[in-house]
A and B are shown apart, each in its own frame.
Chain A
């Protein structure tokens, strides 16, 4: 029974990984860039949410905070990353790596190195007790928000014109631009959307995980593991990978906590040995 409750807990834990991985996967799949600033944008989402909540309330803050992160992401893409278009993808990686350091230090300068107090709102701070199973209300809230976002993202990418352009762009950018679609604007939008998802993850994690400048560092590498495991560029893969990693970490803690850090890499290595493209990865023309 304890195993089952850990599995369910792991699925819920996986939702934060899913949110991070979705944004990373979207950016990687469409733009071919590994966004190393994703972790620090997660942190920025948390900080902005905390600060906005001080002058408004929790509910407004978790909407406005991530939107601001998305806007910042779009500005980064428009004024910095666009200049590296057409160059080796390593340049983009180095840029995001550098931005990660800069943004983290700016957070420390503006808001200090200490933790920011931020608690779960009273409405969400209870728990649902089902005997062996216990569910903190706030974690169920995160689960609900993630499910809604996944549905929204699916509709956006498959049923709207912009979404279909994004999907097409990740398949064959040259053809898309030849058809007269402004590819640069698509990239800006994708980067903004991807970083907004990181901001949402940070906003939701803020009351639960403690808000401090390095909070995003510990989730960035697992997020990369998730998209590698699930398949770079695959959103279904991001969901599957996130759930697998969440459950693996939970079960590892049950058996031997020492392995909880290690298990995600073992799983990733095992999957890559058998299926290098990841579970749901596809061989796309752009990256053959």
Chain B
């Protein structure tokens, strides 16, 4: 190597070292890891990815202001696959191997409950951002686990009462066969019964079902006023894609307590139908960053590829008081 070239390499290395130290001057304490547990595959994968983006956005904003207690925050994400034992294992890994100071995320309540148990055992705060099942704040509640999203009681209570006021009383239920679906159904069914309604059927759909043709034939035969869906993610998307094909569009009202934005975007206006509660689906961002309007302004400036976000300005309850 020539003398000139080696000299340039030394200069370049020195510049890099200086630049690195300048950038790091804001943070006096070591980095703190925020463990993000989201499904990155399976039924809730898309919702999970947006969750990770939301946390990253929040951390960027915190770090730009000097971090928290002098520490820079870094995000480490693990894929729970929406499977209970995988989620528990990943939660444990983030805490014990990656040194996460807190956990945040998950869409499936069943997985969240399991991760809550792990967090409780290891004494780490866990923000169960997307888990709606009532169990999270009842049977499965832990001191360290907090929920930022609606409970099934809140959302199903609002929707069921609204639907009873505006549509018929003969309801057919399609329920995802795990804790979230069950507790959603329990709330809506109880309100239906208290108001003199008729439960035509409750089909427990296995999580991850792709073909709904048999269910649609049953629904068609039952001729309900309202079809109440407690299914989500790709399950919901598949259902809607097949619904119109069985000539059922317009023959009944479709509703449910949750329609995730990412599911609606995938379906598109031609396929999606029914009446759904409008809700702020960037829950992780609103929870971590103070003030809903600040968060939304920064979302709109950085994530302009989703025009539908403008429709979700404020969390709404359908049943306005």
Q: Which residues of A contact B (CB under 8 A)?
A: 2, 5-6, 9-10, 12-13, 108, 112-117, 119-120, 125, 127, 129, 132, 134, 136-139, 205, 207-210, 212-215, 218-219, 249-250, 253-254, 257-258, 260-261
The A interface, classified by DSSP as helix, strand, loop or mixed, is helix
Give residues 214-264 of B contacting A (CB, 8 Å).
214-215, 217-218, 220-221, 234, 237-238, 241-242, 244-247, 262
Give the residue name and chain of the B residue nearest to A219 (CB).
B210
The complex places the Cα of A261 from the Cα of B208 at a distance, in Å, of 11
Q: Which residues of B contact A (CB under 8 A)?
A: 40-42, 45-46, 48-49, 177, 203-206, 208, 210-211, 213-215, 217-218, 220-221, 234, 237-238, 241-242, 244-247, 262, 266-268, 270-271
Q: With A115-B234, A214-B42, A214-B45 known to touch, is A209 a contact of B211 (CB < 8 Å)?
A: yes
Give the residue name and chain of the A residue nearest to B43 (CB).
A214
Q: With A113-B40, A119-B270, A209-B238 known to touch, is A138 a contact of B217 (CB < 8 Å)?
A: no
Contact call A208/B41, Cβ cutoff below 8 A: no
The complex places the Cα of A138 from the Cα of B241 at a distance, in Å, of 12
**30 residue pairs from A and B, CB less than 8 Å apart:** A12-B213, A113-B41, A114-B46, A114-B262, A119-B241, A125-B244, A125-B245, A127-B245, A127-B246, A134-B220, A134-B247, A136-B245, A208-B242, A208-B245, A209-B238, A210-B266, A212-B45, A212-B46, A213-B41, A215-B210, A215-B234, A218-B208, A218-B210, A219-B210, A249-B214, A250-B213, A257-B204, A258-B177, A258-B204, A261-B206
Interface centre among B217, B234, B237, B242 (most CB of A within 10 A): B217
Contact call B218/A253, Cβ cutoff below 8 A: yes
Contact call A208/B247, Cβ cutoff below 8 A: no
| Residue in contact with A209 in the complex, picked from B46, B210, B247, B270, CB distance below 8 Å | B210
Interface centre among A134, A213, A215, A254 (most CB of B within 10 A): A134
Q: With A218-B210, A254-B218 known to touch, is A207 a contact of B241 (CB < 8 Å)?
A: yes
Contact call A258/B206, Cβ cutoff below 8 A: yes
The complex places the Cα of A257 from the Cα of B214 at a distance, in Å, of 10
Contact call B45/A213, Cβ cutoff below 8 A: yes
Give the residue name and chain of the B residue nearest to A207 (CB).
B241
A residues in contact with B238, CB < 8 Å: 209-210
A residues in contact with B41, CB < 8 Å: 108, 113, 213-214
| Residue in contact with A257 in the complex, picked from B203, B208, B267, B270, CB distance below 8 Å | B203
A residues in contact with B262, CB < 8 Å: 114
B residues in contact with A213, CB < 8 Å: 41, 45
The complex places the Cα of A138 from the Cα of B211 at a distance, in Å, of 14
A residues in contact with B245, CB < 8 Å: 120, 125, 127, 136-139, 208
B residues in contact with A138, CB < 8 Å: 245
| Residue in contact with B241 in the complex, picked from A113, A210, A219, CB distance below 8 Å | A210
B residues in contact with A137, CB < 8 Å: 245
The complex places the Cα of A120 from the Cα of B266 at a distance, in Å, of 14
Contact call B211/A212, Cβ cutoff below 8 A: no
Q: With A9-B213, A261-B206 known to touch, is A114 a contact of B266 (CB < 8 Å)?
A: yes
The complex places the Cα of A215 from the Cα of B213 at a distance, in Å, of 17
The complex places the Cα of A210 from the Cα of B237 at a distance, in Å, of 7
Give the residue name and chain of the B residue nearest to A138 (CB).
B245
A residues in contact with B177, CB < 8 Å: 257-258
Q: Give the Cβ gap from B199 to chain A, nearest Cβ, in Å.
A: 16
Q: Give the Cβ gap from A9 to chain B, nearest Cβ, in Å.
A: 5
The complex places the Cα of A283 from the Cα of B40 at a distance, in Å, of 44
A residues in contact with B40, CB < 8 Å: 113
Q: Give the Cβ gap from A104 to chain B, nearest Cβ, in Å.
A: 8
B residues in contact with A116, CB < 8 Å: 266
B residues in contact with A5, CB < 8 Å: 217
Q: Give the Cβ gap from A133 to chain B, nearest Cβ, in Å.
A: 9
Give the residue name and chain of the B residue nearest to A118 (CB).
B241
A residues in contact with B204, CB < 8 Å: 257-258
Q: Give the Cβ gap from A221 to chain B, nearest Cβ, in Å.
A: 12
The complex places the Cα of A112 from the Cα of B266 at a distance, in Å, of 13
Give the residue name and chain of the A residue nearest to B79 (CB).
A113
Q: Give the Cβ gap from A244 to chain B, nearest Cβ, in Å.
A: 15
Interface centre among A112, A113, A127, A139 (most CB of B within 10 A): A113
The complex places the Cα of A210 from the Cα of B238 at a distance, in Å, of 5
Give the residue name and chain of the A residue nearest to B174 (CB).
A257
B residues in contact with A9, CB < 8 Å: 213-214, 217
Q: Give the Cβ gap from B306 to chain A, nearest Cβ, in Å.
A: 12
Contact call A6/B214, Cβ cutoff below 8 A: yes
Q: A6-B214, A108-B41, A208-B245 are in contact. List 18 more A-B contacts (CB 8 A).
A: A112-B49, A114-B45, A115-B234, A119-B268, A127-B247, A129-B247, A134-B220, A208-B211, A210-B266, A214-B41, A249-B214, A250-B213, A253-B214, A257-B206, A258-B204, A258-B206, A260-B214, A261-B206
Q: With A6-B217, A214-B42, A253-B215 known to touch, is A117 a contact of B208 (CB < 8 Å)?
A: no
Q: Give the Cβ gap from A146 to chain B, nearest Cβ, in Å.
A: 15
B residues in contact with A254, CB < 8 Å: 214, 218
B residues in contact with A210, CB < 8 Å: 210, 234, 237-238, 241, 266
The complex places the Cα of A214 from the Cα of B267 at a distance, in Å, of 18
Contact call A115/B237, Cβ cutoff below 8 A: yes
Interface centre among A129, A137, A138, A214 (most CB of B within 10 A): A214
Contact call A113/B268, Cβ cutoff below 8 A: no
